[in-house]
């Protein structure tokens, strides 16, 4: 006994909901299968003080622009969840929550078979909307830490009070690592941080948020095909900054001045001692260079468009690492917790459809794969910078929905005038 739909969407986050909205607008029957509940990733895999790093005005899900009264603010976690819940309530998507999809494959008939925790489904089309952040990535190096050290991934961190008393080592300086280090630092915790090669971004520059300048410059409309780095841009580390307390830059040098201990990349762990690479200066300088390059691009745009904007002086480093320690004794430093802010691995092993490249990443063109009827949405740089964000997923959802609509019209064997749900063979 199988349930059949013209389109099955796997995943009910912002990407899956956006696809549902666009399909519903076109009168295409479908179902959304969500493993947890709407807003789960934001509710359960973010820390208590988490907030968006992009301004609220960039929240532009299809048919549902930011509805609040603080467009230049940054929504905290609870408001993000409410935004998604409000979006779903605005158009009532055909979603089933608490449904785990265990396998997606294609049958000889061309239909897609979707095995779930509540039964079997088939669909003429399938849209995979599960982002690209699946399994927390922790290096095998972690096994060399003493058993007494409490270890967590950044996705499970909640607040300073939830950690054992003592100092904390944060490994990784992407957005999560820097914001978590700041959260701990502001709470008075002694933080040691392994600084990697992640870039940083300015927040306010010449009278506007840098995001607003980049939007005016058309950066967020650049497609992956137009990007200088092409497809390699999909693996870029996000620039670190924060929307906390109204938004500000994160300058690790300022943290160092106020007591945070900065180190280079973690190289090895032996007998309770940490060994670091001698690259702290290089990594800090590199992050600063990226931030300054963004400012210089904004400067050129302002000059070209003859925009009246206040002048700002170039950034001057306020702290330099001198004789940085290349080793650290865990016990002497009283480090009781290690937070691994080392990203995620994708896991598409449950999809048995030949659409992946040698790295296990979906091969697609704007979410359309080489297997007719199989689509992806919500992946980083699926088409533009905003594809995995509230700001750009609407464009992708509309494009895929229109592609499905046109194919449906061209195929007399797949009419859209079907009932919501029926049993095959009944």
pLDDT at 189 > cutoff 60: yes
Shared-domain flag, residues 274 and 155? yes
Placement of tokens 């690790």 in the chain: 252
Last residue of a domain, one of 273, 306, 340: 340
Instruction: Report the CATH number that the domain containing residue 277 is assigned in CATH.
Output: 3.50.50.60
Shared-domain flag, residues 164 and 81? no
Shared-domain flag, residues 407 and 355? yes
In the structure, what pLDDT confidence band is assigned to residue 153 with cuts at 50, 70 and 90? very high
pLDDT, tens only, 64-81: 999 999 999 999 999 999
DSSP result, 20-52: HHHHHHTT--EEEEESS-TTHHHHHSS-TT-B-
Shared-domain flag, residues 376 and 238? no
pLDDT, tens only, 287-318: 999 999 999 999 999 999 999 999 999 999 99
DSSP result, 158-216: --GGGSPSSEEEEE--SHHHHHHHHHHHHTT--EEEE--S--B--SEETTEEHHHHHHH
Q: Counting every residue, how long is the chain?
A: 426
As a whole number of angstroms, the distance between CA 288 and CA 282 comes to 10
Q: 204 vs 426, which has greater pLDDT?
A: 204
Shared-domain flag, residues 336 and 399? no
> What value does the mean pLDDT take over residues 256-268?
97
Shared-domain flag, residues 162 and 84? no
pLDDT, tens only, 373-424: 999 999 999 999 999 999 999 999 999 999 999 987 655 344 433 333 332 3
> What value does the mean pLDDT take over residues 2-24?
97
Per the structure, the complete domain to which residue 385 belongs is given by: 2-134+346-423
Shared-domain flag, residues 325 and 288? yes
pLDDT at 351 > cutoff 80: yes
How many domains does the structure of the chain reveal?
2
**pLDDT value for 229:** 86
Placement of tokens 């009532």 in the chain: 92
Shared-domain flag, residues 286 and 165? yes
Shared-domain flag, residues 143 and 241? yes
As a whole number of angstroms, the distance between CA 360 and CA 345 comes to 10
Shared-domain flag, residues 51 and 109? yes
Buried/exposed 102-121: b ≥16 CB within 10 Å, e otherwise: eebebeeeebbbbbbeeeeb
**pLDDT value for 237:** 86
Shared-domain flag, residues 105 and 254? no
**pLDDT value for 425:** 31
**pLDDT value for 1:** 63
- Torsion-angle region of 70 (φ positive above 0: left; ψ -120 to 50: alpha; else: beta): beta
Last residue of a domain, one of 314, 340, 366: 340
Query: For a pLDDT cut of 90, what percent of the chain falls above it?
Result: 90
Q: Taking the model in full, what pTM does it have?
A: 0.93
Last residue of a domain, one of 340, 356, 387: 340
Shared-domain flag, residues 189 and 156? yes
Q: What sign does the CA torsion over 394, 399, 400, 406 have?
A: positive
**pLDDT value for 318:** 96
In the structure, what pLDDT confidence band is assigned to residue 208 with cuts at 50, 70 and 90? very high
As a whole number of angstroms, the distance between CA 389 and CA 379 comes to 9
Q: What average pLDDT does the chain have?
A: 93
**pLDDT value for 78:** 97
pLDDT, tens only, 215-236: 999 999 999 999 988 888 888 8
């Amino acid at each position: 006994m199988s349930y059949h739909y013209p389109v099955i969407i796997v995943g009910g986050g912002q990407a899956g909901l956006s696809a549902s909205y666009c399909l519903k607008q076109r009168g295409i029957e479908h179902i959304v299968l969500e493993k947890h509940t709407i807003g789960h990733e934001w509710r359960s895999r973010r820390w208590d003080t988490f907030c968006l790093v992009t301004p609220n005005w960039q929240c532009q899900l299809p048919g549902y622009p930011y509805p609040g009264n603080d467009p230049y603010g940054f929504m905290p976690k609870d408001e993000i969840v409410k935004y998604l819940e409000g979006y779903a309530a605005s158009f009532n998507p055909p979603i089933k929550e608490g449904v785990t999809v265990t396998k997606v494959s294609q049958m000889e008939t061309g239909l897609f078979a979707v095995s779930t925790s509540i039964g079997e489904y088939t669909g003429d089309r399938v849209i995979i909307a599960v982002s690209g952040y699946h399994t927390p990535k922790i290096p095998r190096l972690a096994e060399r830490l003493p058993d007494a050290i409490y270890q967590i991934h950044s996705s499970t961190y909640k607040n300073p009070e939830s950690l054992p008393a003592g100092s904390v080592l944060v490994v990784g300086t992407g957005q999560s690592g820097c914001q978590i280090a700041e959260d701990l630092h502001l709470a008075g915790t002694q933080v040691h941080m392994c600084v990697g090669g992640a870039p940083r971004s300015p927040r306010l520059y010449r009278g506007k948020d840098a995001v607003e300048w980049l939007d005016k410059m058309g950066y967020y409309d650049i497609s992956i095909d137009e990007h200088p780095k092409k497809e390699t841009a999909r693996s870029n580390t996000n620039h670190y900054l924060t929307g906390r307390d109204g938004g500000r830059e994160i300058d690790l040098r300022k943290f160092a001045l106020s007591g945070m201990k900065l180190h280079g990349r973690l190289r090895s762990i032996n007998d309770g001692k940490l060994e670091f690479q001698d690259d702290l200066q290089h990594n800090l300088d590199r992050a600063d260079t990226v931030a300054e390059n963004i400012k210089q691009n904004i400067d050129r745009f302002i000059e070209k468009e003859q925009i009246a904007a206040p002048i700002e002086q170039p950034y001057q480093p306020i702290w330099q690492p001198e004789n940085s320690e290349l080793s650290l004794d865990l016990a002497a430093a009283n480090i009781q917790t290690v937070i691994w802010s080392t990203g995620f691995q994708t896991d598409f092993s449950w999809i048995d459809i030949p659409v992946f490249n040698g790295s296990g990443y979906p091969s697609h063109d704007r979410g359309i794969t080489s297997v007719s009827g199989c689509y992806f949405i919500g992946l980083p740089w699926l088409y533009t910078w905003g594809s995995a964000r509230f700001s750009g997923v609407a464009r992708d959802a509309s494009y895929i929905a229109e592609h499905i609509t046109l194919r449906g019209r061209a195929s007399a064997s797949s009419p859209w005038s079907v009932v919501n749900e029926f049993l095959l063979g009944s």
